[in-house]
Amino acid sequence: MSASRDERLRALPSVDRLATAVARAELAARRQEIIAGEDGGEVDLVARARARLRADGPRLLNATGVVLHTNLGRAPLAGAARAAVAAAATGYGALELDLTTGARSRRGARAERALTALTGAEAAMVVNNGAAAVLLAVTAVAGPGREVIVSRGELIEIGGGMRIADVVAQSGAVLVEVGSTNRTRAGDYAAAIGPATGAILRVHQSNFRMSGFVQRPELRELAVLGVPVIDDIGSGALDGRRPAFAGEPHARGSLAAGAALVCCSGDKLLGGPQAGILVGAAAPIAGCREHPLARALRIDKLCLAALEATLELHGDPGRADAAIPVLAMLQLSDDELTARTEQLARLSGGVVVEAPGSVGGGSLPARELPGPAVALHPGEQGAEALAAALRAGDPALIARVHQGRVLLSARTLAAGEIPLAAECVARARRD
């Protein structure tokens, strides 16, 4: 017993080794913030190092090449958003207080102002996630006993088993299916409209695409049929300015085409925290805001702080592209991706191969992200065992296993994480 205890004591790292490891990680993170244009002035690195040591659970590195990996928490937050969360968690804040008048104010008003400016909407509202936004919109606009028209080709099921038909049922509305799985025309919607119709729900096919003998009416064709159109665009693209988002529906375009309400998520292409966003005409937004369900679905102060900071970054597209990790990953240049991949291969002992990544998170489902990755030879332990060893490390390194090889993508690793990922590989092979 005594010998075992003495061995464990001798195995403890020296103070210098432990301090150096924490210092290197903190300095690498700070360098990346400065490079990305997130330099917010003086930062107490000692306090941040202490917080790193206090953090619960192991840190995780995403080397899967899936940018919005649902199992890994989807969008990593920008430095400004992380700082906003920390500030909101530190003490009290004016969550629902007008500091000028001293009267109670509306939660999320700052985010709403940013959203209307970014999308051109008359009004906006935020709730706790994208599914909640759709549920609230259908409940408030159509309501119990009213009919909601949905194309059969859009009665989708997303991850976790959530189905659009179940959302409509939960709202108390009556689902009216039109068209066929692969072809639905504007005339199908028009024929289904009657005195009991409350809304048309148009749903983003978030995790699949249909091709071939297919047809889907344009949103503007539905907007002139005389009933409110709720457009669930899912992925959270606010406008169509970025080439990387080509083909993905966006809020500004949907509103311009005549949608009464547009719903989307905050933790996908927006690059923010889990949140549900509703933008649209003033009357339906007011109906959503006044509905009793709104309180049950309201956003908490920490997510709201992160969302507000993310939206503020979006006000300056150039700054947003550099500072919001999701946007930076999706728009990473070929030269930079190649350089990071070659560095990772050199440090980890792997070889560079062609292995496209993906956007993930129900965004741009048909879009591959071409580029290289690092293939690790699994050795005697085998690919699955090596991947498991990488997951068991601290930090955990999450890789892909494909055709008997372990693949590491540098796209989803920050530049400062490349040496750390290589250390993870060396430790997994050694252990």
Residues β-bridged to residue 354: 372
Assess contact for 199 and 138: CB atoms under 8 A: yes
Residue with tokens 């606010």: 238
pLDDT at 373: 97
List the chain domain ranges.
Answer: 1-54, 57-76+331-431, 87-323
Q: pLDDT at position 262, please?
A: 98
Q: What whole-number distance in Å separates Cα of residue 77 and Cα of residue 395?
A: 18
Residues 6+ apart with CB under 8 A from 407: 63, 65, 353, 355, 373, 374, 375, 376, 399, 400, 401
What is the model's pLDDT at position 196? 97
- The β-bridge partners of 60 are 396
pLDDT along the chain (431 residues), means of 10: 65 71 73 64 68 60 95 94 95 93 95 97 97 96 95 84 88 95 95 97 81 90 97 91 88 97 95 97 97 96 97 96 95 95 95 93 81 91 92 94 93 92 92 72
61 — phi, psi (to 5°)?
Answer: -115, 130
DSSP state of 66: B
| Amino acid present at 355 | A
**What does the pLDDT read at residue 416?**
87
Q: What is the CATH number of domain 57-76+331-431?
A: 3.90.1150.180
- Measure the CA–CA gap between 36 and 174, rounded to whole angstroms: 49
Q: Rounded to two decimals, what is the model's pTM?
A: 0.84
Q: What is the pLDDT of residue 51?
A: 56
Helices (H), 324-410: 325-330, 334-348, 383-391
CA 9 distance to own-chain centroid: 43
CATH number of 87-323: 3.40.640.10
CB 264 within 8 A of CB 130: yes
Domains 57-76+331-431 and 87-323 share a fold: no
